[in-house]
Amino acid sequence: MTDTPTQYERPTTDLGSAHRSITPSILYFGTPVGVISTLNESGSTNLAPISSYWGLDDLLVIGLAATGHTVANLRRHPELVLNLCSVSQWESVECLGRLTGAHPVPRQKPSGTQFAADKFGAAGWTPLASTSVIPERVTELPVHLEAAVTGIRDEADQLAVVFARCQAVHVLDELTVAGTSHIDPGKWNPLIYNFRHYFGLGTRLGIAARAEVRAAGRCEVEA
Ligand SMILES: Cc1cc2nc3c(=O)[nH]c(=O)nc-3n(C[C@H](O)[C@H](O)[C@H](O)COP(=O)(O)O)c2cc1C
């Protein structure tokens, strides 16, 4: 957190709001779950579930434990695949969350974490060759974002922020608007991590003015 600028004064009027100050241990307010593929030293692919990421144009920003196996892999080989999960995959994701590609298991890991050399096998998934990077994709996951790492910023408290540029996108055909590069939001049902509980999406509430897909199977692309 940055300090409050000294040249301004913070208003102190008590408006009697219904909010209460709390100190939660995590800030997992509900983000989509992905599984990140990185290259092990042996040349095999490691898989790890993540939820701390976002995308802006082709830029992916990913939050990771700085001392973790996934970051070590990325420092050695700066390529990744971000495989996005749909709701049906939550049990495989939960299984992978208790595994690490690091051997021996680092002491920072939660108790019960076990080493797994073959994360694909552990999750019941099948590797698929990528088109632009060496780490493999996960066949069973509906969306694959292949990306090249452009930087890793180490933060306090053993956190790392990874910056990567997406260079290839593969999506299950049935989730797209036929003949276009648009994903149909009515069909794509991401797995959401909400304070360590798994959810899907609720029903659509409305359509933004900037939406490109406005009805099932129809696109209106604005300039
Ligand atoms: C749903 C879910 C989301 C997670 N999100 C993250 C995350 O965003 N960043 C992170 O560093 N770890 C996250 N984890 C924990 C890692 O998946 C876990 O530490 C795993 O053991 C990492 O594997 P590795 O040691 O082979 O890198 C998440 C776990 C689960 C189950």
The mean pLDDT of the chain is 93
pLDDT greater than 60 at residue 25: yes
Q: Whose CA is nearest to atom 4 of ligand 1?
A: 50
- By most ligand atoms within 8 Å of CB, the mutation choice from 70, 80, 191 for ligand 1 is 70
Determine the Cα–Cα distance for residues 108 and 95; give it in Å rounded to an integer: 19
Q: Would you state the pLDDT for residue 13?
A: 75
Whether residue 84 contacts residue 146, with contact meaning beta carbons closer than 8 Å, is answered with no
pLDDT for 15 equals 73
In the chain, where are the structural domains located?
29-203+212-219
With a cut of 50, say whether residue 223 has pLDDT above it: no
Residue 68 CA to ligand 1 center (angstroms) comes to 9
CA of 62 to the centre of ligand 1 (A): 11
pLDDT over 50 (residue 222): no
**Ramachandran area for residue 176 (φ above 0: left; ψ -120 to 50: alpha; else beta):** beta
**How many angstroms is it from 49 CA to the middle of ligand 1?**
5
% pLDDT > 90, the chain: 86
Q: How many CB atoms lie within 10 A of CB 32?
A: 18
Q: Among all chains, which residue has been given the structure tokens 């913070």?
A: 10
The ligand 1 atom at the shortest distance from the C-alpha of residue 109 is 19
Provide the pLDDT for residue 29. Answer: 94
The average pLDDT across 172-193 equals: 96
Is residue 45 within 8 Å of residue 135, measured between CB atoms?
Answer: yes
Architecture of domain 29-203+212-219 in this structure: Roll (2.30)
- Output the CA 58–ligand 1 centroid distance in Å: 23
Distance 43 CA to ligand 1 centre (A): 21
To test the ligand 1 pocket, which listed residue (40, 46, 50) has its Cβ within 8 A of the most ligand atoms? 50
Sign of CA dihedral 175, 52, 57, 221: positive
pLDDT at 12: 82
- The identity of residue 18, as a single letter, is A
The stretch 77-90 carries a mean pLDDT of 98
Q: Please state whether 88 falls in left (phi above 0), alpha (psi between -120 and 50) or beta.
A: alpha
Q: Tell me the C-alpha distance between 70 and 190, whole Å.
A: 23
Q: Which ligand 1 atom sits nearest the alpha carbon of residue 52? A: 8
User: Taken in order 169, 126, 141, 115, is the CA torsion positive or negative?
Assistant: negative
Residue 180 CA to ligand 1 center (angstroms) comes to 33
In ligand 1, the atom with minimum distance to the C-alpha of 71 is 27
Residues with CB under 6 A from ligand 1: 33, 46, 48-52, 63-65, 68-70, 93-94, 97, 99-102, 113, 193
Ligand 1 centroid to Cα of residue 35, in Å, is 9
Q: Residues 109-147: pLDDT tens digits?
A: 999 999 999 999 999 999 999 999 999 999 999 999 999
Residue 1 has what pLDDT? 55
